[in-house]
A and B are shown apart, each in its own frame.
Chain A
Amino acid sequence: MPVQFDQVGKSYDAFRAVDDVSFEVWEGEIFGLLGPNGAGKTTLMRILMDILRPDTGRALIDGRPSWGADKDRIGYLPEERGLYRKQKVADVLVYFGMLKGMEAGKAREAAQAALTRLELQDWAKRKVQELSKGMQQKVQILSTLIHDPDLVVMDEPFSGLDPVNTRMVREILVDLKARGKIVILSTHQMEMVEALCDRIAMIDRGRLVLYGTVHEVRRAHSEDALLVKGAGDWGAFRTVRAAKAEGEKTRLTLAEGASAREFLAEAAARDAIPDAYEAAETPLEEIFVSVVRKGAA
């Protein structure tokens, strides 16, 4: 069930929260929806979930407007976390499962299996309010996935999780992708986006400012730079403007107008050919910061 945002716009009185945003999300991919706080990500997700209606444009799920989409095939983890605090963990999961069209018996089985997978089986009969914040976060994620949705929309799924649980959730997302599901992920953890996402869209001040595969975006925003391995007085090269050690490798920023080929020719001439080299990509975090700063300027 592919997702499509088609020239979506939404205002709150005079404030333009989302402005003419269009992008697509395809089956079998993990898609990162990025942007600074207040950029319009949550509004976009709420429009997709039919919690809000757009002023202009439309959000399509499986080619149909989101308000007519089959809600039972969608799982949503909103920014605003919440569970029925005075109810038992298993009962909450069963209720959410039944609201997604599951039969009571099947929902109970699925809840038990899901709790076991996230090592929460001993807490099934405890009240939600007795759980730690991290445990509640895991229950919340399970409530999003209990009905095995085809489209999963998650706002900051890793917040409040320790590294062990972060890895567990990450594995779940990878598994969803492997099974051909769509995962739309909003997070500020850029290393997670680099590791998990196939493609991303970045929203800033309601507008789409970046869109493409992680590799494409990083390449497009990389200066002409190389990562080289080996010993060499790289900084003295005519074709190199700056050299900076990054672990075993050295990041070389090429001089204005210089190409990788010219650098290699100079290295050969100096008899200082590197053991290995590759085109360097700027980390997403830097791209994020630079795009947001540029937008603010």
Chain B
Amino acid sequence: MKSKVAVVARREFTTTVKRPAYLIATFGMPVFVLLIGAVAMIPILAIARTEGRPKTIGIVDHSGALHLTGPADFVPDMRGDLDKAAKITGSVNAKDLMEKAGVSVSLHIVPYGDLSEGQQAMRRGEITSLFEFPPDFVHAGRIASYEKTGLMGPGKGGSKELLASFVRERLFEARLDADLMDRLRSPFVVDAFTLQKDGGFAPQNFLREIGAVALPFVFCILFFVSIMISSGFMIQGVSEEKENRVIEVILSSVTSDGLMTGKLLGLGGAGLLQIAIWMVPVIAVGSGKLAILPFQPLATFWSLVFYVLGFLLFGVLLMGTGSLGQNLKEVQQYGMMWSLASVVPIIFWTLLVAEPNGVLARVLSFIPLTAPATMFLRLHSIDPPAWWETALSAAVLAVSAWVALKLMAKLFRVGLLLYGKRPTIPEILKLLRRPA
């Protein structure tokens, strides 16, 4: 019997991967996405170039509060941001990285004697913005700005915030001592500690916490994409036998369980291969960024177990109910039902992230359709579930997949023999109960 499952699986796999539509989608998609990405990068790069350069602005200071005697350069204090970036990236050279990425920001400030002189400079293109500080500025706190472009023009990002920092420094420079000036520039840098299970406190693991959300998210996306992609192949596979009317011949050679398992493995394999090929450029581009997250072998192992079991369960359900459809369109509608069910944990995502061991998370871990996505999240959380809970959830999922295979094989067998006849719900229930 096993060898017949292999024969079916091999045929389904090879015929699917040789189809022109499969080859075009598999190899065309990464090229297409890269092209779209490249086109999308053009305006981003153009803006980044403008944003990266020091912004030259003009100031007409009638109040004298800014003490401008000539052109000045201003670089804001970024200690807080750099410290956070260093913790996230795990790199002490965060400043270099930010500079390389063109994130560095600074202002080049040119003072003008009066408004018309500044406006002339803007007309000549020497400055992008001009700010007029009235004589009562310190009292009223209101200034006028003259801009080269409207709200959304290039080079707009952050120049007002920078100017505000510059003004703050200039106003207090003469009145505060060095330490207070330093606190004004950078109020604090945080060293965070988190309460541990043993009651003690340990330095907060920034990367671990990001990993607790990012890694399950990656698994979830992969899982849903796998189901969506493979369901397309499985649906085609179910209607193929029906449309070619070969099911009687096939069932005289292999049991419906065997046929279904073979199709599931072959078509599912083709779907997974496609995703793996799509992942190559993603990994090539993104592995550097993901690699900084701490790798957790046990959570990854269990996630893969849930991934495979969940994939099998959804595949079996898709194929069993899909066989009741009379044509590709109807089969797709039946398939859609399960694909939607797999998305349910996403609705509760925020709740699950907040309380990975709460009642809701525990309940969803033991409902076969929601178990995979829920467990991806729980396994990677800071406080993962006990081993027995993980094993029990996996066992429930495995048993459900096996029971579903047996029930759906029955439906599959009868469903495929129903030519031109649409069964009603009572008929379906009857089909599941009787031998065949």
Q: Write out the residue numbers on chain B whose beta carbons fall within 8 Å of the beta carbon of A53.
A: 435-436
B249 and A84 contact, CB distance less than 8 A:
no
Given A82-B245, A82-B246, A84-B244, also A51-B252 (CB < 8 A): yes
A78 and B249 contact, CB distance less than 8 A:
yes
CA distance A49 to B8 in the complex (A): 19
A234 within 8 A of B: no
- Size of the A side of the interface (Cβ < 8 Å), in residues, is 26
B240 within 8 A of A: yes
A80: contacting residue among B4, B245, B254, B436, CB under 8 A: B245
Given A99-B8, A143-B249, also A87-B254 (CB < 8 A): no
CB distance from A20 to the nearest CB of B (A): 19
B8 and A51 contact, CB distance less than 8 A:
no
B249 and A95 contact, CB distance less than 8 A:
no
B53 within 8 A of A: no
B228 within 8 A of A: no
Given A51-B417, A52-B436, A53-B436, also A99-B250 (CB < 8 A): yes
Q: Write out the residue numbers on chain B whose beta carbons fall within 8 Å of the beta carbon of A46.
A: 248
B34 within 8 A of A: no
A101 within 8 A of B: yes
- Most chain B CB within 10 A, of A50, A74, A82, is at A82
Which residue of chain A has the shortest Cβ distance to B15 in the bound complex? A87
A83 within 8 A of B: yes
CA distance A83 to B251 in the complex (A): 13
B11 and A74 contact, CB distance less than 8 A:
no
Q: Write out the residue numbers on chain B whose beta carbons fall within 8 Å of the beta carbon of A5.
A: none
- Most chain A CB within 10 A, of B4, B11, B247, B248, is at B248
A74 and B240 contact, CB distance less than 8 A:
no
Q: In chain B, residues 1-60, which have Cβ atoms closer than 8 Å to a Cβ of chain A?
A: 3-4, 7-8, 11, 15
Q: Write out the residue numbers on chain A whose beta carbons fall within 8 Å of the beta carbon of B301.
A: none
CB distance from A72 to the nearest CB of B (A): 8
B253 within 8 A of A: yes
CA distance A79 to B242 in the complex (A): 15
CA distance A80 to B252 in the complex (A): 13
Q: Write out the residue numbers on chain A whose beta carbons fall within 8 Å of the beta carbon of B251.
A: 49-51
A98 within 8 A of B: yes
A263 within 8 A of B: no
Which residue of chain B has the shortest Cβ distance to A72 in the bound complex? B253
Q: In chain A, residues 66-112, which have Cβ atoms closer than 8 Å to a Cβ of chain B?
A: 71-72, 74, 76, 78, 80-85, 87, 95-96, 98-101
18 A-B residue pairs with Cβ-Cβ distance under 8 Å, sorted by A, are A50-B251, A51-B248, A52-B436, A71-B253, A72-B253, A76-B249, A76-B252, A78-B249, A78-B252, A82-B247, A83-B244, A83-B246, A84-B244, A87-B15, A95-B7, A101-B4, A143-B249, A144-B249
Q: Which 6 A-B pairs have the closest CB atoms?
A: A82-B245, A78-B248, A99-B253, A76-B252, A82-B246, A53-B435
A99 and B4 contact, CB distance less than 8 A:
yes
Which residue of chain B has the shortest Cβ distance to A77 in the bound complex? B249
One digit per residue, 1 when the CB lies within 8 angstroms of any chain B CB and 0 when it does not, for chain A 140-166 equals 000110000000000000000000000
Which residue of chain B has the shortest Cβ distance to A140 in the bound complex? B249
CA distance A295 to B417 in the complex (A): 30
CA distance A49 to B417 in the complex (A): 14
CB distance from B208 to the nearest CB of A (A): 51
Q: Identify whether the interface residues of B are mostly helix, strand, loop, or mixed.
A: helix
A84 and B253 contact, CB distance less than 8 A:
no
CA distance A252 to B11 in the complex (A): 63
CA distance A50 to B413 in the complex (A): 11
B419 within 8 A of A: yes
CA distance A81 to B253 in the complex (A): 15
CA distance A51 to B240 in the complex (A): 19
Q: In chain B, residues 276-295, which have Cβ atoms closer than 8 Å to a Cβ of chain A?
A: none
CB distance from A94 to the nearest CB of B (A): 10
B3 and A101 contact, CB distance less than 8 A:
yes
B436 and A96 contact, CB distance less than 8 A:
no
One digit per residue, 1 when the CB lies within 8 angstroms of any chain B CB and 0 when it does not, for chain A 159-178 equals 00000000000000000000
Q: Write out the residue numbers on chain A whose beta carbons fall within 8 Å of the beta carbon of B252.
A: 49-51, 71, 74, 76, 78
A96 and B15 contact, CB distance less than 8 A:
no
A82 and B244 contact, CB distance less than 8 A:
yes
Given A95-B7, A95-B11, A99-B7, also A85-B244 (CB < 8 A): yes
Which residue of chain B has the shortest Cβ distance to A85 in the bound complex? B244
CA distance A46 to B247 in the complex (A): 12
A96 and B253 contact, CB distance less than 8 A:
yes
CA distance A85 to B4 in the complex (A): 21
CA distance A53 to B256 in the complex (A): 13
CA distance A226 to B298 in the complex (A): 91
CA distance A76 to B417 in the complex (A): 16
One digit per residue, 1 when the CB lies within 8 angstroms of any chain B CB and 0 when it does not, for chain A 223-260 equals 00000000000000000000000000000000000000
Q: Write out the residue numbers on chain A whose beta carbons fall within 8 Å of the beta carbon of B253.
A: 71-72, 96, 99-100
CA distance A99 to B252 in the complex (A): 9
Q: A51-B251, A51-B252 are in contact. List 20 more A-B contacts (CB 8 A).
A: A46-B248, A49-B248, A49-B252, A50-B252, A51-B436, A71-B253, A74-B252, A78-B249, A80-B419, A81-B245, A82-B245, A82-B247, A82-B249, A84-B240, A84-B244, A84-B246, A85-B244, A95-B7, A101-B3, A143-B249
CA distance A50 to B423 in the complex (A): 22
Q: Write out the residue numbers on chain A whose beta carbons fall within 8 Å of the beta carbon of B11.
A: 95
CB distance from A82 to the nearest CB of B (A): 3
CA distance A278 to B253 in the complex (A): 48
A76 and B240 contact, CB distance less than 8 A:
no
Which residue of chain A has the shortest Cβ distance to B427 in the bound complex? A13
One digit per residue, 1 when the CB lies within 8 angstroms of any chain A CB and 0 when it does not, for chain B 72-106 equals 00000000000000000000000000000000000
Q: Write out the residue numbers on chain A whose beta carbons fall within 8 Å of the beta carbon of B250.
A: 99
CB distance from A64 to the nearest CB of B (A): 16
- Most chain A CB within 10 A, of B246, B247, B252, B413, is at B252
CB distance from B71 to the nearest CB of A (A): 75
CB distance from A139 to the nearest CB of B (A): 12
CA distance A100 to B7 in the complex (A): 10
Q: Write out the residue numbers on chain A whose beta carbons fall within 8 Å of the beta carbon of B15.
A: 87
CA distance A81 to B250 in the complex (A): 12
Q: In chain A, residues 24-79, which have Cβ atoms closer than 8 Å to a Cβ of chain B?
A: 46, 49-53, 71-72, 74, 76, 78
